[in-house]
Amino acid sequence: MSAVAASPAVGRGTGRRTSSSLIYFSSISTNTHRFVEKLTMDAARLPIYTRDDTLEALEPYVLVLPTYGGDSGHGAVPKQVIKFLNIPGNRELIRGVIGAGNTNFGESYCLAGDIISVKCKVPHLYRFELMGTSEDVDRVHEGLEEFWTRLSQQQTPQ
């Protein structure tokens, strides 16, 4: 996994800039982190603690985030992700979301992905459980490549 290029803090509440097309949040349990590692794609991890400066996205990206819980939506989206998306520039560049979770949480399974999908009007591309199986990794790897190809074809050449 390549690291994010460090740069001085820019703007309100932002820290490092990243050109990664995959940005993710993972708590100290590292389930989502392990999934992203298995993708072997360039990816940037959001800071674990809300007090830390968040990232500034420079290129279109897909967001991967877990839903940890099952309390009918309350607090489903991690605070660190909210902090990141509260920055308009980050919101403009999001193209899709991938949710991690556990079907044991019933209707709340990958709820954070649903919430962001609605708020940012982007597709909830895929859902996987815990750190994902090898099948999940293959499907997301292929799916993301196709997704980016399709998006680049849709863009009108200048």
Partner 1 sequence: MTPEKLKLASHVTAINWNRIEDEKDVEVWNRLVNNFWLPEKVPLSNDIQSWATLSAEEQLLTMRVFTGLTLLDTLQGTVGAVSLIPDAITPHEEAVYTNIAFMESVHAKSYSSIFSTLCSTKEIDEAFRWSVENVNLQKKAQIIEGYYYGDDPLKRKIASTLLESFLFYSGFYLPMYWSSRAKLTNTADLIRLIIRDEAVHGYYIGYKYQKGLEGLSEARRQELKDYTFELLFELYENEVQYTHDLYDSVGLAEDVKKFLHYNANKALMNLGYEAMFPAAVTDVNPAILSALSPNADENHDFFSGSGSSYVIGKAVNTEDDDWDF
What are the residues binding partner 1 (CB under 8 A)? 27-29, 31, 68-71, 73-77, 79, 82, 85-86, 88, 91, 96, 102-107, 109-111, 113-115, 117-119, 121-127, 129-131, 133-135, 139-140, 142-143, 146-147, 150
SS3 98: strand
Strands (E), the chain: 14-18, 22-24, 44-45, 54-57, 61-66, 94-101, 124-129
* Residue 123 beta carbon to partner 1: minimum distance, rounded to whole angstroms: 4
CB closer to partner 1 out of 8 and 88: 88
* Residue 131 beta carbon to partner 1: minimum distance, rounded to whole angstroms: 5
CB closer to partner 1 out of 7 and 142: 142
Residues 129, 100 contacting (CB under 8 angstroms):
yes
Residues 22, 62 contacting (CB under 8 angstroms):
yes
CB closer to partner 1 out of 7 and 29: 29
Taking only Cα atoms into account, the Rg of the chain, rounded to an integer number of angstroms, comes to 15
CB closer to partner 1 out of 104 and 158: 104
SS3 90: helix
Angle between the 31-39 and 134-154 helix axes, to the nearest 10 degrees?
Answer: 60
How far is 5 from 19, CA to CA, in rounded Å?
8
CB closer to partner 1 out of 59 and 145: 145
